[in-house]
Amino acid sequence: MEILPQPKLPDKERAKAMKCKVCDLEVSEEGFCELHLKAYSNILMKFEVWKNAFNVTWTQYLVRIQKNSLTGEWAKDVAKYLIEEERKDV
């Protein structure tokens, strides 16, 4: 099997591609830095619990996360980003 060369992104796109979706830190996985990735993972893990307990949709859950005074800043950042992305899709 022949190895094909990969196309290179222009410098600005490559730099942007390596930045977190939420902040300017280096990307870890899923397009997030390590801190925002941990918050994202926690948000995903807890959604079913909230959904069952409060009968909320994904977007309602994200809004509640943002408004909750006990939610950490990293999770609030991710919730805000996810809400904005959902609005783009509509």
Q: What is the pLDDT along the chain (90 residues), one digit of tens a residue?
A: 566 565 555 544 554 568 999 998 999 888 999 999 999 999 999 999 999 999 999 999 999 999 999 999 999 999 999 999 988 876
Looking at the structure of the chain, the number of domains it has is 1
Q: If you ran DSSP here, which 8-state letter would residue 30 be given?
A: T
In a domain, 46, yes or no: yes
In a domain, 48, yes or no: yes
Query: Which regions of the chain does DSSP assign to beta strands (E)?
Result: none
5 assigned to some structural domain: no
The domain of 24 spans 11-89
Looking at residue 89, what is its pLDDT?
A: 72
pLDDT at position 15 is 46
CA dist., res. 45 & res. 48, Å (int):
7
CA-CA distance, 62 to 68, in Å (whole number)?
10
